Amino acid sequence: MAGAVKGSRQTRMVVVPYRPWLPVTLIVGFVCSVSLAALGGLYWGYYGASREHIEVGAENVLLSDALLQAQEQVAELRARLAMSGQDSLLDQRAEAEVQSTINSLRGRIRQLEQDVSFYRQAMAPESAAPGLVIENLRLEPAATPAAYRFRVFVRVTGAGDETVQGTFSLSLDGQLDGESKTYGLAELGPAAAQISSSLEFRYFQALEGEFQLPPGFMPEEVLIHAQSSQPERYSTERRFSWTVEEI
């Protein structure tokens, strides 16, 4: 080799292709695949209920496995990013995206576990006194400011196979300009005013929709009231504290 000193030790160099886009491509593909798996598991767990048996436990196992795989791949992605020579800002963004996916999976698993518990109670033989039960209120931010999506379950005990018919109502209690204020569902925006208030189900019914908070209103509690007209007259209500789940 020209310019080399005879007898000196030479270091061998290896040329590898420079692919700065590779870590980002791996992260995007990983986030998309895990998110689709989580949403698919939730969809199947919710709509797979049947009268005889509800097998949503399998979806819970799949999501748990996906979470474990995601945690393992976080370490792998970090190693690949370090080897690619990308700057620290890219490292931070990549880790934040993957961590966000893991947190989302954990939230989906919690939701699915709650659904499994609810479905089992709804489909199990009833030993409790006949009546209506309100459970599992969820509040999540909607796309527009001060708008929220809600979802709550109403189920019946001791009604057998008969169809339950009735109505429900939702109202918010809170503070407006330092004074107590209550808003009914019809007062919480155009979308909320169009939500049907009717109940009609055999085992349980999911009530869901979107509402808009009035300007300056600080909600504190959500009141759900349900009553049936047939096959028997039942009436129940339940208060939930205002707790919004981040998504």
Tens of pLDDT, residues 131-189: 899 988 999 999 999 999 999 999 888 766 788 999 999 999 999 999 999 999 999 99
Quote the pLDDT of residue 221: 97
**How does the average pLDDT of the chain come out, rounded?**
74
What is the structure's pLDDT at 98? Answer: 72
pLDDT of residue 215: 95
% of the chain with per-residue pLDDT over 90: 36
Place of tokens 């989302």: 104
Give the pairing of strands 217-230 and 131-141. Answer: unpaired
Query: Percent of the chain scored above 70 by pLDDT?
Result: 53
What tokens does 87 get?
Answer: 């700057």
Residues 175-210: b if buried by 16+ CB within 10 A, e if exposed: eeeeeebebebbebbeebeebeeebebebbbebebb
Give tens-digit pLDDT for 78-108.
666 666 555 565 566 767 777 777 776 776 6
Element (H, E) at 225: strand 217-230
Mean pLDDT is lowest, of 42-56, 109-123, 189-203, for 42-56
Determine whether 126 is exposed, middle or buried from the number of CB atoms within 10 Å of its CB (0-12, 13-18, 19+).
middle
**pTM attached to this predicted model:** 0.53
